[in-house]
Amino acid sequence: MGGYGDVQMIDENGVRVDGRGPGDLRPVSIETGVIPVADGSARVIWGTNHAVAAVYGPMECHPRKIQRQDRAVLDVRYNMAPFSTPDRMRPGFNRRSREISKVTADALESVVLLEMYPRCKIRVEIEILCAEAGTRCVGLTAASVALAHAGIPMTDMVVSVASGKINGVVVCDLNKEEDNYGEADLPMGILPNSGELVFLQLDGDLSPAEFQEAWDYNMEAAMVVHQIMVDALKGGDA
Amino acid sequence: MKGGRVARPDNMSVSNDAGGPRNQGRASLLVAPGEDLGESEGHEAGHGVLEMDGRLRATKHGRVNDNGTEIAIEPLRTAYIPRPSDLVIGYVEGCTNNIWFIDIGAPFNAILPMSLGPGKAAFGGTRSLMDIGEAVLCRVQEVEETHSSVVTMKGMGLRKIRSGNIEQVDPHLLGRLIGKGGKALRQLKEDTDCRIIVADNGRVWIDGEFDGIVAVRDQLNAMSDDAKSTGVDA
């Protein structure tokens, strides 16, 4: 959170810098089968964010030391392309991508039926091609569509959305400016069919009432995005 | 849904079919993982379906198959998981003094012990019988809970493949390739004058005249492309 409290990002009518209302999502579109050689793949375009996820497996688990005798392991790699941001991202793993890979794997592990594939590995690769706030949400959403597309059994698909606070107002789906100069950011991973939560992070401060409001925005937005995910899967490959 | 969709209170409703989508009376409905398939009472959960809190839930992306007693999902894409008695085409990936390791397109290589191999060889003579890279037609003998499997070449028609071509199709498309009672496959064999063996792991052995092999290949590719582009018609 940048903490530039004097940056005006929402007017008295509740219109935000990009013309959305407080509860509006950026436009979301999802395609499946964008990587023909992968077992499953998906592209999510969410506002200006572009994420591609590819799933390979289940396959034999290498290195052997991470293999589990009773279930599969999820090997998630989140990566931002060097050209995804205006100031070049240094290629390779960094602290941030390692963290996001881990929280994404943790969120997906709670839905994928890993015990059906003992000793296997399921490789999930998430590549962010264009970044504009909320890439961890876009990446997680793309990964769960790609897993479903690969035919991996899972109890539900994870939908991830972030809400936050700008100029004291709680708003849904922060964009770049709101993320940088806003006061709080609350990304959540939601299972739309049961309403359960598998992932939550909070950056900044929210009062209990504001937290509830952001929570409700996320829950509502997750249902919308879930419908787009389901439509993408049912509509066939790109 | 391609783009342009924005969340507003008026379009953020969630449909809630209490009886589940199967009650709409549509045959072979396409579902996504997590989708509710109605109450579990009177129905058994088949492949790709889980019972959770008295309700059935899809765990795979595919078509719903309801035969009255059991609800199952026929997945649109799936990895090959070996089952005992499957006929498979494998490639020799490696060998030790008395064991071949066979790639059967599953997550793990299968083992082929010399005792189940194609002929007699002295200890250490595995490579003289079947070398790395060669294709074999074999049958899955045993699958352990941890997915390790044993294949055998003792049986009718199981042999090393010396001629022809091997093509790969997604295992879930085999039903379409073979057709009802083998009708489509018989037709394909007649039309192209080729010998064709369809293995359960999605590998298809084709032998015959050059033009025939090309014709079969074209047909297989067209089938795969068609299934991928529509998705809904696999």
Nearest-angstrom CA–CA distance, B62 and A165: 40
In this predicted model, what pLDDT tens digit does every residue of B109-145 receive, in sequence order? 999 999 998 888 788 888 899 999 999 999 999 998 7
Smallest Cβ–Cβ distance between B107 and the set A36, A60, A111 belongs to A60
Nearest-angstrom CA–CA distance, A172 and A188: 12
Count CB neighbours of A41 within 10 A. Answer: 25
State which amino acid sits at residue B46. Answer: G
ipTM above 0.90, yes or no: no
Cβ within 8 Å, pair A236-B228: yes
Q: Please, what is the average pLDDT of chain A?
A: 93
Residue A46 pairs with which residues in a beta bridge? Answer: A28, A49
Give exposure, B115-147, as e/b (b: 16+ Cβ within 10 Å). ebbbeeeeeeebeebbeeeebbbbbbbebeeeb
A28: three-class secondary structure by DSSP: strand
Domains observed in chain A: 28-232 (3.30.230.70)
pLDDT bin (cut points 50, 70, 90) of residue A112 is very high
State the residue for tokens 């396959």. Answer: A59
In this predicted model, what pLDDT tens digit does every residue of A33-73 receive, in sequence order? 999 889 999 999 999 999 999 999 899 998 999 999 999 99
Pairing of strands A73-80, A120-130: parallel
In this predicted model, what pLDDT tens digit does every residue of A86-106 receive, in sequence order? 999 999 999 999 999 999 999
A14: three-class secondary structure by DSSP: coil
Query: Which CATH entry fits the domain spanning B165-229: 3.40.50.10210, 3.40.190.10, 3.40.50.300, 3.30.1370.10?
Result: 3.30.1370.10
Interface mutation target, options A64, A145, A230, A231, chain B, most CBs of B under 10 Å: A230
User: What pLDDT shows up at residue A188?
Assistant: 96
A186: three-class secondary structure by DSSP: strand
Cβ within 8 Å, pair A221-B8: no
**% chain B with pLDDT above 70:** 85
User: What pLDDT shows up at residue B160?
Assistant: 93
pLDDT bin (cut points 50, 70, 90) of residue B24 is very low
Which chain A residues contact residue B79 at CB under 8 A? 39, 57-58, 150-151
H/E element holding A230?
helix A208-234
| Three-state SS annotation for chain B | CCCCCCCCHHHCCCCCCCCCHHHHCCCCCEECCCCEEEECCCCEECCCEEEECCEEEECCCEEEEECCCEEEEEECCCCCCCCCCCEEEEEEEEECCCEEEEECCCCCCEEEEHHHCCCCCCCCCHHHHCCCCCEEEEEEEEECCCCCEEEECCCCCCCEECCCEEEECCHHHHHHHHCHHHHHHHHHHHHHCCEEEECCCCEEEEECCHHHHHHHHHHHHHHHHHHHHHCCCC
Smallest Cβ–Cβ distance between A40 and the set B1, B36, B77 belongs to B77
User: What pLDDT shows up at residue B229?
Assistant: 63
Phi-psi group of B215: left, alpha or beta (phi > 0 → left; psi -120 to 50 → alpha; rest → beta) = alpha
Roughly what angle, to the nearest 10 degrees, separates helices A208-234 and A135-149?
Answer: 40
pLDDT bin (cut points 50, 70, 90) of residue B65 is confident
Cβ B220 vs Cβ B167: under 8 Å:
yes
Largest CA distance in chain A: 59
Smallest CA–CA separation between B188 and chain A, in Å?
27
Smallest CA–CA separation between B65 and chain A, in Å?
16
B15 has pLDDT over 60? no
Smallest CA–CA separation between B162 and chain A, in Å?
28
Average pLDDT of B68-91?
A: 89
Q: Check if B10-75 and B165-229 are the same fold.
A: no
A45 near B CB under 8 A: yes
Average pLDDT of B47-69?
A: 89
A151 near B CB under 8 A: yes
User: What pLDDT shows up at residue A4?
Assistant: 56
DSSP per-residue letters across A65-82: GG--SSS-EEEEEEEE-G
- In chain A, residues 82-141 whose CB comes closer than 8 Å to chain B: 111, 113, 117-120
Structure tokens at B23: 């009650």
Domain B10-75 carries which CATH code? 2.40.50.100
B16 has pLDDT over 50? no
Those residues whose C-beta lies under 8 Å from the C-beta of residue B73, and which sit 6 or more positions away, are B31, B46, B47, B48, B49, B58, B59, B60, B62, B63, B64, B65
Average pLDDT of B143-150?
A: 84
Cβ B185 vs Cβ B179: under 8 Å:
yes
Alpha helices in A72-126 (DSSP H): 95-109
Which chain A residues contact residue B147 at CB under 8 A? 117-120
A156 near B CB under 8 A: yes
A238 has pLDDT over 80? no
pLDDT bin (cut points 50, 70, 90) of residue B186 is very high
> Measured in whole angstroms, how far is the alpha carbon of residue A229 from the centre of its chain?
12
Nearest-angstrom CA–CA distance, B204 and B5: 44
A44 near B CB under 8 A: no
Domain chopping of chain B, boundaries: 10-75, 87-161, 165-229
Smallest Cβ–Cβ distance between B61 and the set A60, A117, A233 belongs to A233
Count CB neighbours of B27 within 10 A. Answer: 9
B1 has pLDDT over 90? no
Count CB neighbours of B171 within 10 A. Answer: 20
Between chain A and chain B, how many beta carbons pairs sit less than 8 Å apart? 144
pLDDT bin (cut points 50, 70, 90) of residue A5 is low
Which chain A residues contact residue B146 at CB under 8 A? 69, 118-119
Predicted TM-score (pTM) of the model is 0.86
Query: Which CATH entry fits the domain spanning B87-161: 2.40.50.140, 1.10.3470.10, 2.60.40.2470, 2.30.330.10?
Result: 2.40.50.140
User: What pLDDT shows up at residue B230?
Assistant: 56
- Cα A62 to Cα A75, A104, A121, B47, B62: the distances in Å are 10, 20, 8, 28, 30
Average pLDDT of A207-230?
A: 96
